[in-house]
Structure 1
Amino acid sequence: MLHRGATIGILGGGQLGRMMAMSAAQLGFRCIGYAPEGDTVAEQVSDDFFANRWDDTAALAAFAAQCDVVTWEFENVPVATAAAVPKDRMFPHPRALETAQDRLAEKRFIEGLGGRPAAYARIDSRSDLDAAVDRLGAPGILKTRRDGYDGKGQWRITSSRDADGLNFPDVPLIYEGFVEFEAEFSVILVRGQDGEIRFWDSACNSHVDGVLSTSSLPAGALIEGQVDEARTLARRVADALGYVGVLTLEFFATREGPIFNEMAPRVHNSGHWTLEGAVTSQFENHIRAVAGLPLGETRTVARAVTMTNIIGKDIATSQGHLAAPDTHLHDYGKAEVRAGRKMGHVTRLER
C-alpha cells in the first residue's frame, strides 16, 4: 500500500492521464507523466513531466526511479517501454498491453477463454482479403492489427471490389465479418492487487463516424439481459492477465447474446460518466488499485446518466451545457481543435 505523498508515474499524456492525475491528487499522491512531445494535457495537472521518446532508455530509467508505482493511460504505449519499469512497480502487467495491441492475438486470447468475437480472418495479402470476403461475406471491416482507435486504421468492405481502389497498407491486417447487433455496450471493471473485482453498471454506447458520441444509463432491457454473460468473460480476462486496475471490454448486444468487440486495458471513454454518476469513479478506483488501497464502491448514484463527448469545434460553446440542471462539464484543456478530436465531455444526471 502506497503511503501518503507517494509518487505515481503515468505513461501517456492525454485526457485519461489528466483525469487519473486529478484523482491521484485527491488521494494525496503526486503524479509524474511520461510521453513524447505533443499536446500532453496531463502535464497541466502533473507534478512533473518527462517529454521524451518511448525508447529513450536513460529518460525512462530516470522517470521510473522517481516513481513508487507506474501505470499507463494509453493502450498503444510500447510493450518494451512498460517492460523497462521494474515488474514490482508496473501495474497492470505489460502482458495486458501485449495482448490488446494485436487484434488477432486479442481475439484468439478471448476465444481461449470461451468468449465469442466477431468472425475474423488474418490478412497478409490482397488474396487473403479476397478469400476472407468469400468465406465470411460482406460487408465487413478491414482493420490494421496494431494501432488505430476511434475509427482510424479501418476500411469498410462491402464487396471484394472495394479493395480494388484501396491503397493496400503494408502492415498486418485483420478482416472482421459484419455483426448484426441491436446495441453496443461496455463492461468496465476494476481489479485490486488482492484479486478483488468490482463492476460498474454497463452503459449503452452510441458512435458517430467511429467515435463514441454518448454513453447512457439505464442501458435498456436487451443490454441488461446480456451483462452477466459479458461480465463472466471480463472476469476471466482480468484473472488470466493477473490484471491490476481498470479494464474495459466492449461488446455488441445481438439476438444471440453478447459478441466481443475489443479490449481496452485502461480507463475508458464509456466510463467517464462514473466521475459524477457513481460512488467511486473509474479514475479513482484505478489509482486505488495500483496504489494497493481498498477499492471503492461502484454503485450508480442517479436514476439516469448521459455522458456526451464534445468533439472538435463544439468545445467553443461547451459552457452552454452548464445551464442545464445537474450537468457537469469536463474540458480537457487541449490547445489544438480539429475535426473528430475529443475535446471534453459533459455528463447529465437525473436523480
Structure 2
Amino acid sequence: MTRDVLLPGATLGVMGGGQLGRMFVHAAQRMGYFTAVLDPDADSPAGRVSHHHIRSDYLDPQGLEQLAAKAQAITTEFENVPAAALEQLARQRPVAPGAAAVAIAQDRAKEKAHFMKCGVACAPHAVIETPQQLAAVADNLLPGILKTSRLGYDGKGQQRVATREELAAAWDVMKRVPCVLEKMLPLAYECSVVVARGQDGAMVSLPVQRNLHRGGILAITEVYDANVPAAAAQQAVASARAVAEGLGYVGVLCIEFFVLGDGSLVVNEMAPRPHNSGHWSIEGSDVSQFELQVRTLAGLPLTQPRALGPSIMLNLLGDIWFRNGGEQVPPWADVLALSGTHLHLYGKTSARVGRKMGHLTVTGASLEQVRSTARRCAELLGIDPF
C-alpha cells in the first residue's frame, strides 16, 4: 500500500496494550498524534492512556475494522500478534512492521534461516519437528538448549539438555511441538542493537547495549562508550542492519547477540518491535526507540540517535514488591532522592513475581557516577548486585 507522510494530528494505531504500547502512545502523543490501541484487556497499560481503546480479540474482524477506521497507520507492540490480523489490516492501512517479517520472528527455525541468508552467524543448531530429525541430531550439538520454535520469550519454552536421553525427554515434555536445539556456547556477555528502518530504506540505530539476563529475563542494560569492544560493536550494528535490510523491514527492530569468549558474535534472536534493552533511550538519547517507532510508522525522516551520556537501566520485576515475605510498596522516595534517576511504572494493577512492572534508568555526567547511583538503587530495591 502506498504510504504518505502522516503529520501530527493523524491517528496512529497499535496492536497490543502492554507497556511497549504504552510507551509508544506516550511518544506519539508528545509529538501531537492521536492514538488507538486494540487489546482485549480493559485494564491494559496502553489502553488506559490512549485516546481510543478498542477492546477486542486480535483476530476479531469487527475490532480490526474499528482499528482500521480510526487509525491512518498501524504498528504492533509484541511479536505474537497473529500475522493474519496484520494481513487483514494491511489491506486497508499501512502496517509496519509487515506480517511477513513478524511471521519470521514468531518462528525460531524461520528466524535462524533468515539470519543465515543474511550472512549473520548463529549458534550451531538443528530443527526438530519429527522423530527422524530428533534421531539425526549431531552429537556435537550437546549439551544444548531445546527451545520451542514458537511462543517462547523471557526464558519460557526452553530447557537445557546434556544427553540424547535428556533431549528426548525434554521434547516429550514440550509435547513434541516443533523445536530448535542450539549448542551451548561459552558466553562472555550479551548485547543488543535497536535499529530503525524507514519506508525509504533509510536506517539508523541506537548505540550497542550491553545486557545482563537473570533467569532468562533482562535485568540490567548498560550503555556507555566502549561498553562493547569496537570491533564487536561494529559487527553487531552491521549484522542488525543486514537483517533489517533482508526483511525489507519498516519499523523498529531489536537484534540480540551473544559475545563469545574469543570475542566473536553469534546472533540470538530478533524482536520486531521496541525492546526492553532500549528503554534507557527515553532519557539517555536525543531520540528514543519509541520516537523512532513513531517516525517509521508515520513516514517521517530518521535522524541518527545520539547518547547524551552514560545510562544504566534496571528492569523492575514484581519480585521487588515481595522482598520480605509480604507485599509492600518499594521505597520509591529513597530511589528518587538520588540524582539522575528516572522511574517508569507501567500502570499494571497487581505485582507478581517475574512480572515486568517498570524500569528505572539512571543517567549522569560520568560512568562512575551513574554506576554508583544504579548500584545504590539496586540495593534499595533488593535487586541482586551487578
TM-score by length of 1: 0.94
1:112 to 2:117 alignment: yes
- Structure 2 counterpart of 1:44, from 40, 45, 48: 48
1:101 to 2:106 alignment: yes
1:322 paired residue number? 336
2:258 paired residue number? 252
8 Å contact kept, 1:223–1:253: no
2:300 paired residue number? 293
8 Å contact kept, 2:17–2:44: yes
1:342 paired residue number? 356
8 Å contact kept, 2:145–2:159: yes
Residue by residue over 1:153-208, the C-alpha shift from the partner in whole angstroms, topping out at 9 and shown as x without a partner, is 11111223334654242321111111212110001111122211111111110001
Q: Tell me which amino acid in the other structure corresponds to 1:188.
A: V
Q: Which moved more, 1:148-157 or 1:161-170?
A: 161-170
Gaps of 5+ in 1: none
Deviation at 1:24, TM superposition (A): 0.3
8 Å contact kept, 2:253–2:274: yes
8 Å contact kept, 1:129–1:175: no
- Structure 2 counterpart of 1:178, from 178, 184, 193: 184
Q: Tell me which amino acid in the other structure corresponds to 1:117.
A: C
Q: Tell me which amino acid in the other structure corresponds to 2:306.
A: R
1:333 to 2:347 alignment: yes
d(CA) in 1 for partners of 2:233 and 2:221?
Answer: 15
d(CA) in 1 for partners of 2:136 and 2:350?
Answer: 42
8 Å contact kept, 1:203–1:219: no
Q: Tell me which amino acid in the other structure corresponds to 1:205.
A: N
User: Which aligned pairs between 1:160-175 and structure 2 lie closer than 5 A?
Assistant: 160-163=164-167, 166=170, 167-175=173-181
Deviation at 1:218, TM superposition (A): 2.2
Q: Secondary structure at the match of 1:40?
A: coil
8 Å contact kept, 1:202–1:219: no
1:188 paired residue number? 194
1:283 paired residue number? 290
d(CA) in 2 for partners of 1:94 and 1:337?
Answer: 33
d(CA) in 2 for partners of 1:19 and 1:230?
Answer: 26
8 Å contact kept, 1:310–1:318: no
Residue by residue over 1:64-109, the C-alpha shift from the partner in whole angstroms, topping out at 9 and shown as x without a partner, is 1111000000011110011111355111221110111110011011
Q: Which moved more, 1:189-198 or 1:322-331?
A: 189-198
Q: Which moved more, 1:43-52 or 1:21-30?
A: 43-52
Q: Secondary structure at the match of 1:84?
A: helix
- Structure 2 counterpart of 1:74, from 73, 78, 88: 78
User: Which aligned pairs between 1:235-246 and structure 2 lie closer than 5 A?
Assistant: 235-246=241-252
- Given the superposition, is the C-alpha separation of residues 19 and 117 from structure 1 closer, same or farther in structure 2, using an over 3 Å criterion? same
Deviation at 1:114, TM superposition (A): 0.6
User: Which aligned pairs between 1:190-269 and structure 2 lie closer than 5 A?
Assistant: 190-218=196-224, 220=226, 222-254=228-260, 255=262, 257-269=264-276
8 Å contact kept, 2:210–2:227: no
1:311 to 2:322 alignment: no
Q: Tell me which amino acid in the other structure corresponds to 1:268.
A: H
Gaps of 5+ in 2: 322-328, 366-386
Deviation at 1:221, TM superposition (A): 5.8
8 Å contact kept, 2:55–2:63: no
Q: Secondary structure at the match of 1:132?
A: coil
- Structure 2 counterpart of 1:92, from 97, 107, 115: 97
2:29 paired residue number? 25
Count, aligned residues? 349
